[in-house]
Amino acid sequence: MNFVVQLSAAGTATVALPAAIGNLSRAPSLTCYLAQDISTATVAWLSVADGFNSTTSPSCGLVFRDGAWSAVMIRGIANWYAAFVVVY
């Protein structure tokens, strides 16, 4: 399952994942990417790892809250685009 959203002015994004994704004992896999512009014929998606520098590098992960999963990105580049690829 793929989700593409625009990052906020603060460089963050959150996507609520469908209930079918799983529960706390059955977490999905997540991969994240960043792109500056998705309106052109050629789009370069940059892979987001684990936030190598925890105070400045983009980072993404999964949050389980109120019985549901969300994919989140922090410290991204304001107004760029985030792609979340979820496998369950």
Per DSSP, the three-state class of 51 is: coil
Q: Answer yes or no: are the C-beta atoms of 15 and 74 closer than 8 Å.
A: no
Pairing of strands 46-48, 2-6: unpaired
Domains of the chain are 2-87 (2.60.40.1680)
Phi and psi dihedrals of 63, rounded to 5?
-125, 130
pLDDT, tens digit, for every residue of 39-87?
988 999 999 976 666 778 899 999 999 999 999 999 999 999 999 999 9
Which pTM does this prediction carry? Answer: 0.89
Output phi, psi for 49, to 5 deg: -90, -125
Mean pLDDT of 4-23: 95
